[in-house]
Amino acid sequence: MVRLCLHVGSKAAAFGVGAGREEQGKHMSAPAEVGTTGQSPWRETLKTIVYALLIALVVRVFFYQPFNIPSGSMKSTLLVGDYLFASKMSYGYSRYSFPFGIVPFRGRLFGSEPKRGDVVIFKLPRDNSTDYIKRLIGLPGDEVAVRGGIIYLNGQALPQTPAGTYVGPEEGGRAKPRYEETLPNGVKHYVLHWQRESDLDNVGPFKVPAGHYFMMGDNRDDSIDSRVQSQHFGVGFVPYENLVGRAEIVFFSVAIDDPRAFRLTSPWTWPFDIRWSRIFNLVR
């Protein structure tokens, strides 16, 4: 429109008011010519969608990737139905940092060693495709044993202090004892286990090989982790290359483990099935 006004003004100055009116009439009779130089709307929309997908892919691969929690092996730190972001930058990048492992290389780029107590997402060593999440307990060279439900790390027992109970749908309404466990580097976290002993309460010792880590779930009675060394159904030691990222923050949580939640017959109750208090909780 600015160009059109300037054009009319210049004609009026050169040929008089009558010529200006004639020129203005010509432009008004063909308004379709004004917008013909732009791109079609569908093409602009398609470009916007492509750019958005590329940005999302870059963020997912190199910065933060979302995951959801399908099992209770990390209770009460993480609950079934939690959705969290994992930092991909924390440990650098391996082939498993990319979807379907499409970038075939060995080792890690910009690698950084994980710390004891980190909550880690990794690829299950026996198939290198299934995503698992556990807490890092043993570093390369450590000796890990469990006696009576207590972890012995390099011969030293990790202190556990009673910290109340946890009650959830999978516990059938029973209060499960909770303890605060302290790792040698000062990291404190909660673990759950019944007072009665289970098969995994007395295992080891395990010598963690170089370039590998020993992982355990916080729900000690209901976690298949590095205590189970079987190549057919266990986890075993986790190679450094298999680390995907460090769990950072819960961004959404729904009580999908509660059979009374999200009933189709009462949709007005659905907002109450969202665990609002867990949203934006840091994973520690």
Listed in sequence order, the residues at least 6 apart from 245 whose beta carbon sits closer than 8 Å to its beta carbon are 65, 86, 87, 88, 90, 91, 97, 120, 121
Closest by CA to 214, choosing from 124, 106, 139, is: 139
- Burial (CB < 10 A; 0-12, 13-18, 19+), residue 250, is buried
Q: Which residue has the tokens 């009116």?
A: 21
- Predicted confidence band of residue 102 (pLDDT cuts 50, 70, 90): low
Report the SS3 class of residue 114: coil
Asked about 134 being catalytic, the answer comes back as yes
Asked about 176 being catalytic, the answer comes back as no
Report the SS3 class of residue 175: coil
User: Which pair of tokens denotes residue 254?
Assistant: 């729904």
Catalytic residue among 75, 123, 134, 176: 134
Contact 75, 192 (CB under 8 A): yes
Report the SS3 class of residue 151: strand
Q: What is the mean predicted confidence (pLDDT) over 35-64?
A: 78
Residues present in the chain in total: 284
Q: Tell me the per-residue pLDDT of 67-97, one tens digit each, with 9 for 90 and over.
A: 999 999 999 999 999 999 999 999 998 888 8
Query: What's the confidence (pLDDT) of residue 26?
Result: 43
- The secondary structure of 223-276 as a DSSP string is --STT---TTT---PEEGGGEEEEEEEEEEEB-TT-TTSS-TT-GGGGGGGB-G
What is the domain partition of the chain in residue ranges? 51-278
Q: Which CATH class is domain 51-278?
A: mainly beta
Quick one: what percent of the chain has pLDDT higher than 90?
59
Whether 110 has a pLDDT exceeding 90, the answer reads no
- 83: which strand partners? 68, 252
- Burial (CB < 10 A; 0-12, 13-18, 19+), residue 256, is middle
Q: Tell me the per-residue pLDDT of 129-182, one tens digit each, with 9 for 90 and over.
A: 999 999 999 999 999 999 999 999 999 999 999 999 999 888 777 899 999 999
